[in-house]
Amino acid sequence: MSLAKVTPLETLAAWLAEAEAARVLEPAAMALATVSPSGVPSVRFVLCRGIDSRGVRFFTNYDSRKGRDLAAHARMMQRMAGWFDGFGSNNGAMHVRLRGRGKDGRLQSRTWTLVAENGDGPRVPTLAAVLLTKKLLNVPGFAPITLRGATPASNLLTLREFEGEWRSLAIRTTVTGETCAQASENFATATSRRVT
């Protein structure tokens, strides 16, 4: 589906409908995080029983821990969430900047930038799960994961695999490099700022 010009709740409702149509096990199960009046966080699963412009509906006991946590904070949090409505847009971006010395010993800097348009930003954090699922299911064209048990996740997914996954989305990336002179200057400024 295109995510252009839809609210986050409409997007969530569409994703839930997709999961239901795909007959995913417990598609309506969602993690609900709350915090107690004394600041202790808790997270547990509840079933989503509907989504409309007022929010996400679930059923529970008002006297439960989550009921008491929500009674203490939910109204205030909902009011505060509205303060940021005007800042939202359908576009998102992230930068990863690497700085260090090249083989020649000179300072270098590279910045990788990802821009997601048409509301495709929320898809970005889901791509790792999509790729891992394909690999675990041995989908042709995806290098299978042969490791078993607890293992470091680094190196399981490559940037090339991510690029293949977002080809159908409104996502583009660029890599820019600073000249050594710029990198040195910026590095020196950043270091002196840290020191002072």
62 versus 83: smaller Cβ distance to ligand FMN:
62
CB atoms within 10 A of CB 183: 20
Identify which of residues 49 and 75 has a Cβ nearer to ligand FMN in the complex.
49
Binder of ligand FMN out of 2, 7, 64, 182 (CB under 6 A):
64
Nearer to ligand FMN, 15 or 58 (CB): 58
Amino acid identity, position 60: T
How many Cβ atoms sit within 10 Å of the Cβ of residue 119?
Answer: 23
Among positions 34-63, residues that touch ligand FMN (CB under 6 A) are: 42, 44-47, 58-60
**Tokens read off for 142:** 């995806």
We find the least distance from the C-beta atom of residue 24 to ligand FMN, in angstroms, to be 12
Give CA–CA dist 53/61, Å, rounded. 23
Task: Tell me how far, at minimum, the Cβ of 29 lies from ligand FMN, in Å.
Answer: 4
Cβ–Cβ under 8 Å, residues 187 and 99: yes
Q: Candidates 1, 29, 96, 190: give the one binding ligand FMN (CB under 6 A).
A: 29
Q: How far is the CB of 41 from ligand FMN (least distance, A)?
A: 11
- Determine phi and psi for 28, rounding to 5 degrees: -90, 0
Block residue for tokens 């490559």: 158
Region 141-180 residues binding ligand FMN, contact defined as CB under 6 A: none
Q: Which of residues 83-122 bind ligand FMN (CB under 6 A)?
A: none
- Is the distance from CB of 11 to CB of 3 less than 8 angstroms? yes
Among 58, 55, 11, which residue's Cα sits nearest to residue 30? 58
Residues in contact with ligand FMN by CB under 6 A are 26, 29, 42, 44-47, 58-60, 64-66
